[in-house]
A and B are shown apart, each in its own frame.
Chain A
Amino acid sequence: MAEFGIALIATLIKVGVLVGVVLGVSAYLTWFERKLAGHIQARLGPNVVGPFGLLQPLADAIKLATKEPIVPKGADVPVFYLAIAMALVPSLLLFSVIPFGPEFTLFGKEIKPLISDVNIGILIVFAMGSLAVYGTIFSGWASNSKYAFIGSLRKASVIIAYEVVLGFAVLGVILLAGTISTVEIVESQIKSGVWYILYQPVAFVLFLFCMLAESGRVPFDIQEAEAELVTGYNVEYGGMKFGAFPLAEWYLNVIALSAIAVILFFGGWSGPAIFGAFSPYIWFLLKTFSLVFFVLWLHWTLPRFQAKDITEIAWKIMLPLALANLIVTAVVVYVLGGK
């Protein structure tokens, strides 16, 4: 019983640290994104609240929290509230299988820097990615607004299309690693000494596209489409309820999927030990945030595809490519007989 209690407390501490860090980083990512957007568009970005506008996320949070709660006329009230949980919970749970570094020993106990070390890590990522579509569909359906409804349908079709491509793209890496546990995928890359992006460049490009589509980033942001749909499926939400949607899909999803891309293609925490004891963690965070930065950079540089182009690219170009990549990888792995 005491052992269970200790394990529970250790898990709670890990969850607390993770959630605190992730939500804090997401809040500051809004500041970073607005600064970046400002400089890309030759303006300053937030610079009034605090030095360099650094207190802006705090001001935004207070503003969102003190708004009036409004439920639109004719809305499906339980579903309207449920949509927030359905959007936020899966994108938080994506972080449960991300290993931030190797095992270490603290107070004589082996501690793994990830929350849940299950041997189906990548499957959990896909499960949570598929569940995220419910948040979108529910919010669009419950809001009783045409803009929200169209936005949610568009987003659903994008997620459906790219979820399939994502699955086939990742299968190539799984064939090489022979496991779907996130920790073991990283360890097999460290053992073979090669990052899988060298063996699977096509899969990485496909994964990158799917990452942009799943998190609703430009050039796949037809569900937001400020100019035509006025941010789409969350248009009827206000205050903190509105805040949950961009937080979940623009920030949490982007960070989590970048981290998973690092695990699958960039060798996770591997890297030369030039930062001392914390080297693996610093490498992991550096790689992850380089990808996050790349996504933000694309967001403020590219124009948007049309709905028609997005679904047709996914089904007619990317899906056949992913299937071909899978078969070629399987044949090569068979011929070389594995390592």
Chain B
Amino acid sequence: MDGYGALLVFLIVAIVIALAQTFLNELIGVKRKDPHQDYPYECGVPLYDPEARGTFKQGYYLLGLLLILFDIEAAYLFPWAVVFRDIGLYGLIEAVLFIFILSLGFVYAWKKGALKWQT
């Protein structure tokens, strides 16, 4: 109960709080209908394009790809860092090689201009 069980209890409590915040206005808020109240915010003019989820900058895709590269690298390095004292020189060399190989990918992305925001 001190470990994951308590985490589960906390999760349930947190979800209840979130639901309360979500539906509080439905319960006790005023309701006064107005034909234009559900217009998306756009400077008060009639909507030019009813669908806002159109095209967006492709740079976000590239950053997403880089995240996969580096977040997984970090995930592998966590257990390494915990047991580093026990595995000694072997672990050190392995990790430096691992980071070096991934740095090559990073340098490649950099040279290709994936990190350049305004092109």
Contact = CB atoms under 8 A, between A and B. Distances in A.
B63 A161 contact: yes
Nearest to B110: A316
Contact of B9 (A11, A71, A141, A244): A11
Nearest to B107: A320
Given A11-B9, A323-B103, A93 B21 contact: no
Interface residues of B, number: 68
B109 to A, nearest CB: 9
Given A141-B53, A167-B77, A334-B88, 16 more contacts: A19-B13, A23-B17, A143-B40, A144-B51, A149-B53, A157-B60, A161-B67, A167-B70, A167-B71, A167-B74, A168-B74, A175-B84, A230-B41, A243-B21, A244-B18, A323-B103
A163 B15 CA distance: 24
B99 A326 contact: yes
Contacts of B19: 85
A225 to B, nearest CB: 14
Given A311-B115, A319-B106, A71 B38 contact: yes
22 contacts: A12-B9, A66-B30, A72-B40, A81-B22, A89-B18, A117-B3, A141-B53, A149-B52, A160-B64, A160-B66, A164-B71, A167-B71, A167-B77, A235-B41, A238-B25, A240-B22, A240-B25, A241-B21, A244-B18, A319-B70, A334-B88, A334-B89
In terms of DSSP, what is the predominant structure of the interface of chain B?
helix
A7 B95 CA distance: 42
Contacts of A7: 1-2, 5
Interface of B: 1-7, 9-11, 13-15, 17-19, 21-22, 24-26, 28-32, 37-42, 50-53, 56-57, 59-60, 63-64, 66-67, 70-71, 74-75, 77-78, 81-85, 88-89, 92, 95-96, 99, 103, 106, 110, 115-118
Contacts of B82: 174, 178-180
Contacts of A190: none
A74 B28 CA distance: 25
Nearest to A245: B21
Interface residues of A, number: 86
B7 A116 contact: yes
A242 to B, nearest CB: 9
A66 B28 contact: yes
Contacts of B17: 19, 23, 88, 92
Contacts of A307: 117
A236 B25 contact: no
Contacts of B21: 84, 88, 240-241, 243-244
